[in-house]
């Protein structure tokens, strides 16, 4: 046990200073040596989800011996054998996952301490210098051992006050991903309301003079967490930092990269996803006349389209979009949107809850991220099948001036099979988890919801994109407006030198001709729903600097278009009369 390092760490925390560390999952002890060399205050060796066995853990411990870096082992569960063994081989403390009650915390403290206050047995291992200094180790462990409960569930957050009453615990850790899962948002890093719940628990911990930690998902998030009051801050995980750094280096030299996509279904490379030689700059004929707009939830125009059903527009005429409206529809429990038709196409994706879409009586029960596309003139309805929880839909319309005509429901109800893909010549249903997957960029997995190949005559195209940590698209532009809604994680968007951080279903409207790309700079997956105001997913790939540097894509000397301010919600719209460049060959996405 490194008592001196533990005391230094606690002294910093007593002064309300941050202590920075690294989350280690790989077996190479050189990683711990690097952490020590960089002067990190602590490291966590992840023995719950990482790659390491007990021999690997000992290697990391030896790499940090006689340093000022505290070594903590995350054990796999609340288990006296695991906790005792982690401390016997020399760990300075343990993180115990899935702590939900004060009684569990009391057990963890007992398992980590010797009698008479605890239940830990004395072993002739590294911690006692092979049994030669047992008395000294027992004495120093009593006042130094770190027992850190990991709060990663709604129940754990609700019981935080009782946990704070347990003696022997002054540090806590939060796991936002599992916390989100227990809140009903599996797969999201911080689902709706989770950040607020963790923040409230953090405030209670700090009010009692104790401290808590969390893993930062990016450099920006590290600063944000520090401002929020978290004092044990992981700068990232070893694998996440390596991937982010490597992808940033490749991006700097214009490489989109390769590798296989990690996807929920069989992966295939679509015919249009093949690598293309990027243009040095976009064709002049595609010079844009509008700037990108960012629509954030709560800021868009809202309309109650039926009792208990509210539509919030995030892309549309209010932020200069052309032939495209997208947004979110919230349905209270049991709400039903009456049957209606449009003079334009509509595509509907279930994001949350228990939802269904009916098309001329054919009812499609949807799983989250499943999609139904309804051509113009076809009667349809949406509904929340739950009597207890709201449902949330993402919708897109091939118009910037939405209207509808209510129609009488004279259709015979047909419950369609869960693997049904719709009626030929009418609606198209995309089951996201079973759909063909292709790679549109480095470590991405894309699924097409709709396009004119899938549904002839449709005016929109779009789908779902999953980005693993570090994943990215090449710099590109389109011959139509685009809506990109971030439905999971946090995305970084570059548009001609301007950088945006998007999450919590924020939606970017990128107009025709604007060079942009998206990248996942976090340690967690990111996902988007993208919709184009065009029938096929086509893009023109250009050099990286066109997206990351100002005035490269569209040099001011050649300017003849808009002088609007980027990102403004009041950008003036001006029609473009320039045709699409015949010299540019679009690449399918």
The label of the residue with tokens 């991220």 reads 369
pTM of the full structure: 0.55
Catalytic annotation, pick one of 49, 137, 415, 421: 49
Give me the residue spans of the domains in the chain. 3-245, 284-560
According to DSSP, the residues that pair with 146 across neighbouring strands are: 93
What Å distances lie between residue 37 and 30, 33, 66, CA to CA? 10, 6, 12
Residues in a beta bridge with 463 = 448, 530
Superfamily of domain 3-245, CATH level 4: Phosphoenolpyruvate-binding domains (3.20.20.60)
**What pLDDT does 552 receive?**
92
List, for the chain, all residue ranges whose pLDDT scores fall below the cut of 50.
256-275, 558-589
| pLDDT at residue number 277 | 62
pLDDT at residue 252 in the model: 65
Start-to-end C-alpha separation, the chain = 54
Paired with 363 in beta bridges are: 358, 415
Distance CA 572, CA 290 (A): 7
Cβ proximity of 452 and 461 under 8 Å: yes
Burial 206-241 (b: 16+ CB within 10 A, else e): eeeebbbbbbbbbeebbeebeeeebbbbbbbbbbbb
3-245 and 284-560, same CATH topology: no
DSSP result, 397-413: ES-SS---EE----PPP
At 251 the pLDDT is 61
Superfamily of domain 284-560: Jelly Rolls (2.60.120.10)
Q: Any idea what DSSP says for residue 378?
A: -
Residue 71: exposed, middle, or buried by beta-carbon count in 10 A (0-12, 13-18, 19+)? Answer: buried
Q: Is 49 a catalytic residue?
A: yes
The reported pLDDT for the residue numbered 559 is 39
pLDDT digits (tens, 9 = 90+) for 103-159: 999 999 999 999 999 999 988 888 888 888 888 889 888 889 999 999 999 999 999
| CA dist., res. 443 & res. 453, Å (int) | 25
What is the per-residue pLDDT for 577? 28
What is the per-residue DSSP string for 67-103? Answer: SS-EEEEE-SSS-HHHHHHHHHTT-SEEEES---SHH
Residues 365 and 356: beta-carbon distance below 8 Å: yes
CB atoms inside a 10 Å sphere around CB 409 = 15
């Amino acid at each position: 046990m490194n008592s001196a390092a533990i005391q230094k760490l606690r002294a910093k925390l007593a002064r309300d200073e941050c202590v920075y560390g690294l989350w280690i999952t790989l077996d190479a002890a050189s990683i711990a040596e690097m952490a020590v060399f960089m002067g990190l205050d602590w490291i966590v060796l992840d023995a719950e989800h990482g790659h390491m066995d007990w021999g690997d853990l000992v290697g990391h411990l030896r790499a940090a011996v006689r340093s000022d870096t505290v070594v903590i082992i995350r054990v796999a569960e609340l288990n006296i054998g695991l906790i005792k063994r982690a401390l016997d081989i020399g760990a300075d403390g343990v993180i115990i996952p899935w702590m939900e009650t004060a009684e569990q915390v009391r057990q963890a403290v007992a398992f980590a301490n010797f009698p008479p206050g605890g239940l830990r047995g004395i072993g002739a291992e590294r911690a006692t210098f092979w049994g030669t200094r047992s008395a000294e180790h027992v004495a120093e462990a009593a006042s130094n051992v770190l027992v850190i409960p990991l709060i990663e569930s709604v129940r754990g957050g609700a019981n935080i006050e009782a946990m704070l009453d347990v003696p022997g615990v002054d540090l806590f850790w939060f796991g936002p991903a599992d916390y989100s899962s227990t809140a009903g948002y599996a797969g999201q890093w911080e689902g709706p309301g989770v950040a607020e719940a963790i923040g409230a628990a953090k405030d209670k911990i700090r009010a009692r003079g104790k401290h808590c930690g969390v893993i930062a998902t990016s450099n920006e998030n590290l600063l944000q967490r520090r401002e929020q009051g978290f004092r044990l801050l992981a700068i990232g995980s070893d694998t996440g930092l390596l991937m982010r750094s490597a992808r940033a280096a490749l991006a700097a030299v214009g490489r989109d990269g390769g590798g296989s996509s990690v996807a929920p279904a069989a992966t295939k490379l679509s015919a249009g996803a093949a690598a293309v030689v990027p243009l040095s700059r976009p064709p002049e004929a595609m010079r844009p006349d509008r700037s990108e707009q960012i629509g954030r939830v709560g800021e868009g125009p809202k309309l109650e389209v039926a009792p208990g059903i509210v539509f919030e527009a995030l892309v549309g005429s209010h932020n200069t979009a052309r032939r495209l409206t997208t947004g979110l529809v919230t349905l209270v429990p049991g709400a039903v949107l009456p049957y209606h038709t449009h003079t334009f196409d509509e595509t509907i994706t279930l994001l949350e809850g228990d939802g269904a879409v009916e098309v001329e009586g054919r009812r499609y029960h949807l799983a989250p991220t499943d999609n139904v596309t309804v051509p113009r003139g076809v009667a349809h309805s949406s509904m929340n099948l739950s009597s207890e929880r709201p449902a949330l839909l993402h919708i897109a319309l091939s118009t910037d001036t939405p209207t509808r005509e209510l129609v009488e429901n004279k259709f015979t109800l047909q419950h369609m099979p869960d693997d049904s893909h719709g009626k030929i010549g009418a609606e198209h249903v995309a089951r996201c988890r079973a759909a063909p997957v292709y790679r549109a960029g480095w470590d991405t997995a894309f699924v097409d919801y709709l396009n004119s190949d899938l549904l002839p005559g449709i005016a929109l195209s779009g789908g779902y994109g999953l980005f693993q940590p570090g994943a990215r698209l090449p710099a590109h532009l389109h011959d139509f407006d685009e809506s990109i809604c971030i439905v999971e994680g946090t995305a970084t968007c570059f548009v001609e030198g301007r950088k945006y951080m998007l999450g919590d279903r924020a939606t970017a409207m990128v107009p025709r001709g604007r060079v942009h790309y998206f990248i996942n700079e976090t340690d967690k997956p990111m996902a988007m729903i993208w919709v184009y105001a065009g029938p096929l997913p086509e893009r023109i790939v250009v050099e990286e600097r066109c997206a990351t540097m100002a005035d490269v894509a569209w040099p001011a000397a050649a300017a003849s278009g808009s002088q609007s301010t980027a990102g403004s919600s009041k950008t003036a719209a001006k029609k473009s009369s320039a045709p699409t460049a015949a010299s540019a060959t679009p690449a399918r996405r």
